[in-house]
A and B are shown apart, each in its own frame.
Chain A
Amino acid sequence: MLKITDLHVAVDGGSKPVLKGLTLEVKPGEVHAIMGPNGSGKSTLSYVLAGRDGYAVTGGSVRFQDADLLELEPEERAAAGIFLAMQYPVEIPGVANNYFLRQSLNALRRARGEPEVSAAEFIKKLKAVAERVGVDPELLKRDVNAGFSGGEKKRNEILQMVMLEPKLCVLDETDSGLDIDALKTVADGVNSLRSPDRGMIVITHYQRLLDYIVPDFVHILADGRIRKTGGKELALALEEQGYEHLLGEAA
C-alpha cells in the first residue's frame, strides 16, 4: 500500500539533507517499527508522509495505493487514508475536542463521497472509543488539547486515529511521556485497529512500546537511510547492544 523508493529529503530551504535514500514498503496488514538515534530522520519521515511543508523532496518517490503521495495536499492524504499521530499535538483553544473530531470525520467522509455522520451516531461512537483508549469523557468537551497533560494529548491522538479509521497509521513517538499504564491503554487502542487491510508505521526510541504493539518488521534508521531490517527480535538486540554496536556490524 505504501512504497517509498530512494527518498531524499532536505530541510532549511533544501540546504540540509535529512533523508538520504530511504526505501521502505508497507503492505496491508503489516506493522513496521522504525527506530533510530536522534536526528536520524524519523520525524522527518512522518512529516513527509503527512505532507507538512518545509520539507523539500530532492529525490525518490512515495506511492500510496497507486497514487503519487507527494503530489497531494495534507487533507488529500488524510482523505486517502493516512493518519499521523503526532509527537507534539497542537493545542486549539476555543474549539471543543468533540466538535473538531466530528468536523474532521465529516470532512474525510465528504472527500470520499460518503454521507456525513449524524450527531447521535457520532456521539455514540465517540463515547465507546473514548472508553477504549482511556480518554476521560470530560476531555471530549474541553478545547482540543488545551491544558491536556502530555499523556492526555497522546491518548487524544489515538482517539482521533481510532475514530477516523485510517488505512495507514503513522505513530511518531507516541510512547514518549507515557507511564506504563497509559502505554498499555494506548497500545490496546492501536492494536484494536490492526487488521489485514491496514498498515502501520510505529516510530519510537524505545523497545518498550514494541512489547505491546508487536511489529512484523523492525527497521533501524540512521543518517537518513534504513541501515538494518529484521523482525521484532531486532528491537531487543538494539535494546541490549545499542545503535553503535549494531550499526557497526551492519557497516
Chain B
Amino acid sequence: MNAPARAIRSRYVAPIPAFADAFTAARSSLPGKEAPAIQDWRQLHFDRFLETGLPTPRVEQWKYTNIARAANVPMALATRPNVGLGDVQRYFTGGPLARRLIFVNGHLASELSHVRGLPQGVRVESLGKLLQDEPEWSARALGGPAEPHSFADLNAAFLQSGAWIELGDGAVLEHPLQLLFLTVGQPAAVMAHPRIVVRLGKEARLHLIETHIGLAPGHCLTNLVGHYELGEKARLTHDRLQLGSAGTSFVGLNRQRLAERAELKQTLATLGGALVRNETDLHLVGSFVEAQLNGVYMPIGEEHVDNVIRIHHEAPDGHSDQFYKGVMDDRAHAAFAGKIIVHQDAQRTNAFQRNDNLLLSDDAEISSKPELEIYADDVKCSHGATCGELDRTALFYLRSRGLDRAQAESILTFAFAAEVIERFVDPAVRKLARECLVARTPGGAGLSDLL
C-alpha cells in the first residue's frame, strides 16, 4: 500500500467481514442477478466500498457522526415484513390524485402503490424492475462510479429498489408524486438500500414528496441515494419528511445538478430516528438557477441528526438559500455543516445560509459549521448561525396575554420549528409534520388545538 492510501486508511476503518458475507448472500437474490452488466456494476462498487472503508470522525464530512461505530456492525439485507393498507394510509400525502410508490424496508410494495395513468412524457418506474428487466440499459443509465463514497458505493452494491422518475421536455405532473418509505424495525440489525433517480427535461415540472416513516421500533439502517438532474427551466418542488421510529437509522446522499434557470425548492423535516444523516451535494451548473433548501430537525432522547450540505455555484447569476432550524432536547445531538463554494466563473452569485438553533436541555448539543469558499469577486454571500434560548420578548408578550410560562414556552418552541414546516408545499405533509412537532414539543399536549 502506498503512502496516501495509508493516510486515507487511517481516517477510515475496514468494513467487517459481515459485509462481504451479506453481499455474497444477497447477490443471488437482488434484481438483475442473472445479468452480467448488473453483476459487474455491483461488484465494482462493492470492491470500492471495501477499499475505501467506513469513515471515522477524522474525515471532515463525518466529523459529527461516528458512522463507523454505528454502521460497521453485522447487518443482513432487510426482508419485507407484512404491511397492509390500514398501516400506511395515514401517511398518504399529496391529495387524492397523487401517484404513489410505497417501499417497505427497501422492497417495493407494488400492491400498495399506484402510478398508473401518467400523462405523456412522464415515466415513473420501479428501479428494481428496471434492473431486472432492462439490466444493460439500467447499468448504463445508473452510470459508473463517481468519486468514491462509502455509502453510495454500498448502495450500488446492494441496490434493491427505488424509483426511476423521468419527465421529458415540457412534461408536467400536475399532482404530487409520493415516494413513501416505510421502515419496520427488526430485533436484529438489517439494512435497506433504495435509490431515487429524477430527471427533469427542459421546462418539466414535478412536485415530489418523499416520506420516510418508521412503523415499529427496532433496528434498520436505510441507506438512500438520490440523483437529481434538472434541465433548463425545470422546476422541482421536493417535500421531504423523516419520521423514523426508535432505533431506526437513516443515511442519505442527494446529488443534484441544476441547469440554466432551473428551480429547486426543497423542504426537509427530521422528526424521528436514532441516527439520521442527510448529505446534500448541490451543483448549480447553469446560470440563473434558483435553489432553496429549507430544513428543520428536532431530535429528542438520544437521537442524532446530521445535515451536511455542499452547494457549488459553478455558473453566474445563481441564487441559493439555505434556511435550517433545529430544536434539541434531552441528550440529543444535532450537527449542521453547510458549505457554499462559489467558482471563479460564478459572478453575481447570491448565496445565503441561516442556521438557528434552540437548546431545550443542558445535555443537548448542537454543532454548527458554516463555510464559505469564494473564488469569484462579484458575489453576495452571507451566513449566520445562532444557538440560544427562547426569545425573552416573545415570552413576555405571551405571558402578558395570560398564558403561563410553560404554555408560552411550548407555543414558542413549536412556533420556532413551525416556521420551516410552513414551507412544505403539500398541506398533508405539513399536517403530518405539525403533528409530530407537537408530539415532540415539551407541553405539546396543550397544543393539540393547533392541529
Contacts and interface: CB of A to CB of B under 8 A. Distances in A.
28 contacts: A53-B396, A74-B396, A74-B399, A75-B399, A75-B402, A75-B405, A78-B399, A78-B401, A84-B400, A89-B397, A92-B394, A92-B397, A92-B412, A93-B419, A93-B422, A94-B416, A94-B417, A94-B421, A94-B422, A95-B414, A100-B401, A100-B411, A103-B449, A104-B401, A104-B402, A107-B401, A107-B402, A143-B415
B393 interface: yes
Interface of A: 50-53, 73-75, 77-79, 83-84, 86, 89-90, 92-96, 99-100, 102-105, 107-108, 111, 143, 160, 164
A76 to B, nearest CB: 9
B18 to A, nearest CB: 45
Contact of A53 (B392, B394, B397, B398): B392
B400 A78 contact: yes
Given A75-B400, A93-B422, 10 more contacts: A90-B393, A92-B397, A93-B418, A94-B417, A96-B450, A100-B398, A100-B401, A103-B403, A111-B402, A160-B401
A92 B400 contact: no
B371 interface: no
B137 to A, nearest CB: 47
A174 to B, nearest CB: 15
Contacts of B394: 90, 92
A50 B407 contact: no
Contacts of A96: 450
Given A90-B393, A93-B415, A103 B400 contact: no
Mostly helix, strand, loop or mixed at chain B's interface? helix
Nearest to A49: B400
A141 B392 CA distance: 25
B402 A86 contact: no
Contacts of B449: 99, 102-103
Contacts of B407: 103, 107
Contact of A77 (B392, B397, B400): B400
A62 B146 CA distance: 73
A184 to B, nearest CB: 25
Nearest to A96: B450
Contacts of A92: 394, 397-398, 411-412, 415
Nearest to A107: B402
B422 A78 contact: no
A73 B399 contact: yes
